[in-house]
Amino acid sequence: MSAITDQVSTSINALTQEFDIIAHNLANVSTVGFKRRCNAFSKSLEAQDAETYSPGTIDLNSIFDFSQGSIVETGRPLDFALHGKGFFVIETPEGPLYTRNGTFITNQNSQMVDSQGRIVAGQAGPITIPGNIGTSQLSVSSDGTINAGGIAIGKFRLVDFNDNENKLVPTGDSCYRMPDENIQPIEAEHIVVKQGYQEASNVQIIDELVDMILVSRLYEANMKTLTAAKETSSSLISVAMG
């Protein structure tokens, strides 16, 4: 009886964690560059139901889905979307961060920065816009080369991690860091920069709601199993006590 109770309790904890992940995904459906998170467990939910679900087969390995989000036109000259595998690099005192959120502004030094005021990395350092050039005069080619008034002033540093992508750790604001210092990014290939666009979140509301319904059903079924096990245990104790 204890083994069954332990299995069901583990299942309930897993389902609670899965529910939290789904809720977090839904809360960021409108966040630029957001990548949904999922457990390997969630990938098997659609093939199961409350009658066939086995609490002993849970995989809590949480991963990010870095698949492409839709590209939305904004017309803003400092909005940039990436199409293909790769990340912008954001420089911080604690080390580089990596993001798909290309919504940038300029700081008091005319350097391109993110919404938190952190430097957007160019291949040769910070990207500085000449003081006599307005942002409307900026043009960025598909390879990330930035031109101001017809003169090249820099190029975005765009990187990729290939198969190490899922080792990235979220830091907020759709940014990630690589905790393993031995893993260095490489230059991104086959990636296109689109100026005047944003990459939308890759969260699909319908898919998340379906998963949430399945999680709720499985949670309810496991709670019933746990309650029944406890009642059976109590009855056996009562009989044993005479």
C-alpha–C-alpha distance, residues 174 and 26, integer Å: 14
Distance of CA 195 to the CA centre of its chain: 22
pLDDT level of residue 236 (50, 70, 90 thresholds) = very low
What is the share, in percent, of the chain residues with pLDDT greater than 90?
59
120 — phi, psi (to 5°)?
-85, 125
Report pLDDT for 212.
87
pTM to 2 decimal places: 0.81
pLDDT at 65: 93
Domains of the chain by residue range: 2-66+202-241, 71-199
Instruction: Give the separation between CA 78 and CA 102, rounded to whole angstroms.
Output: 8
For the stretch 107-127, pLDDT in tens is 999 999 999 999 999 999 999
Asked whether 114 and 90 are in contact (CB, 8 A), the reply is yes
Q: What pLDDT does 239 receive?
A: 44
Q: What is the pLDDT of residue 120?
A: 98
Q: State the burial class of residue 164 (Cβ atoms within 10 Å of its Cβ: 0-12, 13-18, 19+).
A: middle
Mind listing the pLDDT tens digit for each residue in 5-38? 666 667 777 788 888 999 999 999 999 999 999 8
Q: Residue 49, Cα to own-chain centre: how many angstroms?
A: 27
pLDDT tens for residues 159-212? 999 999 989 999 988 999 999 989 999 999 999 999 999 999 999 999 999 888
pLDDT for 52 beyond 70: no
Q: Which amino acid appears at position 238 of this protein?
A: S
> How far apart, in Å, are the Cα atoms of 158 and each of 9, 23, 122, 140, 194?
45, 31, 8, 14, 13
